[in-house]
A = this chain, B = another copy of it.
């Protein structure tokens, strides 16, 4: 019977349904944001949210009955779920969210995400993703051009779903470009060595594992007191690895290490890389975006010599998570390293200078969300000047915090001083209550961090001391200042809160 009607009611009345959902959602979102905003009447000091155990949340959210027949016909139930998700999640719009290397979203970020969602574009091939593919190439090239000033014509960038995946891709690129036969033959008995400082992000080690090199192929290089790579130690590591039969392949330098925020000496590392035929990658996931600030971009001196750079707009620039770029001086290398076909054969491209718009071909993936669009929108919205202002403001805020705690003897900076501030936007420090006598600070650090969270006011992270010889001092605070919503008032109140809680520690029991 080819005349019978076939219809489905699951998505009938789409327009009305979305309209109705959005009408109910919008006031909730605005309420959620305004209660986290100190400049608003609706502001609630504890809106960051308190700690809840996984067991508690499981009970609240995991109702198997809902999975059976669905709640589409019961809008009230939909919003009960949404309200609970908002209530028990960490409200990152609160300026007290200082825990990680990213912070809140912002209005244009939300708008960009909505457009991505409505388009539901998969930016793998041009046919289905014409606009977003063109924009990714455009903004990737502009971004890369800030770093690779001598390669304006050939440079470019693509997004990957986080800094780790960008770093992983850079190692694949290194192997495929230096040893093209590995695409077919694999490592094939070769033992490649890679190098990175002891303070680098864990993704370098994970990349070594994923690519079949193994964590043993990662030679961890010593750091100097300021958290930067000791280039003499790098040279020794290369020598050592060679003597053990390894083939030196890749060195990762970091622009803004995870704990200290240190910038490795890129120029010196580039020279070593050149001498030993190493691919020179920079993991600038965190600190790379100082490129936008004329005041602070000198930290990146030498980065123009890199073979690839990871930079995450979702960190220092406040683009919604996740948005991570891998930037290279020669954009054609994405396909040279990643495509299954030779680039000149692929999709009718006649020569390497022709631009590729089937973006997945230059990655190890296929389907992809166009994270680049969020960065494009943020860039045209705030402008290069706006990004500069954002970065400079964050450094000013971090400096203010350093000044404040340096004036109180109970605080001790792990790195830096008012005259010579920490290299990036995180401040690492101990707080020692006046009655505190232990050498190991872990207990009091954890206590203060936990109590701040209990108040629903501040979320701040802590870390073991990674400096050799400093282990005995225990865990310190690592507080990240990384948002235009931070003001001198927030910083002053944070210092006050730490002192109050810290002085109180152990006094009541």
Contact = CB atoms under 8 A, between A and B. Distances in A.
A385 B182 contact: no
A119 interface: yes
27 contacts: A6-B488, A8-B390, A8-B487, A9-B484, A10-B106, A11-B107, A13-B39, A14-B106, A18-B30, A54-B355, A57-B134, A61-B134, A66-B383, A69-B384, A70-B380, A70-B385, A72-B386, A81-B380, A92-B119, A102-B122, A121-B321, A161-B165, A176-B209, A183-B215, A187-B214, A206-B365, A211-B212
Nearest to A407: B2
B69 A383 contact: yes
A385 to B, nearest CB: 6
Contacts of A506: none
A68 B161 CA distance: 27
Nearest to A109: B117
Interface in A96-151: 99-100, 102-111, 113-122, 126-135, 138, 142
Nearest to A1: B403
Given A105-B117, A206-B364, A209-B364, 8 more contacts: A61-B135, A62-B138, A70-B384, A78-B111, A175-B212, A182-B212, A187-B212, A215-B340
Interface stretch (A83-91, A234-242, A270-278, A439-447): A83-91
Nearest to A63: B380
**What 9 pairs across the A-B complex have the smallest Cβ distances?**
A70-B383, A212-B212, A186-B214, A113-B117, A161-B161, A18-B107, A8-B393, A8-B484, A10-B484
A9 B379 CA distance: 16
A433 to B, nearest CB: 22
A216 interface: yes
Interface string A207-226: 11111111111000000000
A52 interface: yes
A342 interface: no
A434 interface: no
A412 interface: no
A89 B128 CA distance: 8
A21 B108 contact: yes
A85 B131 contact: yes
A57 B39 CA distance: 41
A161 B365 contact: yes
A34 B15 contact: yes
